[in-house]
Amino acid sequence: MYDVIFPLLPAGLILANEPMSKHTSFKIGGPAEIFVTPENTSQLSSVWKTCLEKNLQVTILGGGNNVLVSDDGIKGVVIVTEKMNRIEINKNEITAESGTKLHTLADAAQKASLSGLEFAHGIPGTVGGAVFMNAGAYNHEIKDICESVTTLLPSGEIISHEKQFLDFGYRKSRFQKESAIITEARFRLESKSPNEIKSYMDELMSKRRSTQPLDKKSAGSTFKRPSQPNYYAAKMIDECGLKGFTVGGAQVSTKHAGFVINTGSATAADVLALMDAIREKVHAATGILLEPEVQMLGFE
């Protein structure tokens, strides 16, 4: 399949057998058969059209921060939106393409005296992934500020969805159930002093550094918060005495039990085995079966 031609893409934006370990925060994952990084919506549309015409499997990836890729890699075409990162500011609204990193967007908002994205500054990932998962932290979520989302459909049509149609919930959005690619999102923010915004961002980052293993290879929070009131995944894992619990090169962080980290040589199989063990032990102790927050890619 390496002779597939994507008409609008320069050759340098297409790679064969690209190790996904180079493109995920876990630093884990086998090769993508074809790895493509379009620079704009036209190129993205052209790539997707070709994939549909040739019946190729397609995987969409942003910053690779909330995913675990199989040791066998990913079949078909992996489309990474990281080069689609344009930002536009209009009064108290900021629009960003899906590949824009959240910390870059938050910095741009701060410099423009716009408040509301401070919580996102420390979230690793991109706008597309954050909208897809309704990312959140410190009692704030993307849904609180997102006004509209633009998507590309398989037909090539570009559709904009207003806030009331986004179906946001805890770590979910309408896009998890649709065959569409997020291309950009528009956020409504509030005017505030840049110094005040920066101070709040610094405060939240200080909290993160003191409680989370930001210096380790991980995919962020491993499990979702249980639906039962007053239950938290990290607290339950900790109470089961699992901090430091290790399978191969994968370990439950000793700093924050909600994070599984790659100690340096972890495989996807190690991480999965560790996650299964965590779920089993927590279920035995509490009757609650934890649901993974990390997205699994390349697994049959």
Hey, which residues are catalytic here? 171, 221, 293
168 vs 160: CA distance, rounded Å: 15
∠7-9-12 over CA atoms, to 5°? 135
Q: Which amino acid is it at 100?
A: T
66 vs 64: CA distance, rounded Å: 6
Q: Do the Cβ atoms of 107 and 194 come closer than 8 Å?
A: no
207 vs 203: CA distance, rounded Å: 6
89 vs 96: CA distance, rounded Å: 9
Find where tokens 């900021």 sit. Answer: 94
Q: Do the Cβ atoms of 26 and 61 come closer than 8 Å?
A: no
Is 141 exposed, middle or buried (CB count within 10 Å of its CB: 0-12, 13-18, 19+)?
buried
Q: Do the Cβ atoms of 9 and 49 come closer than 8 Å?
A: no
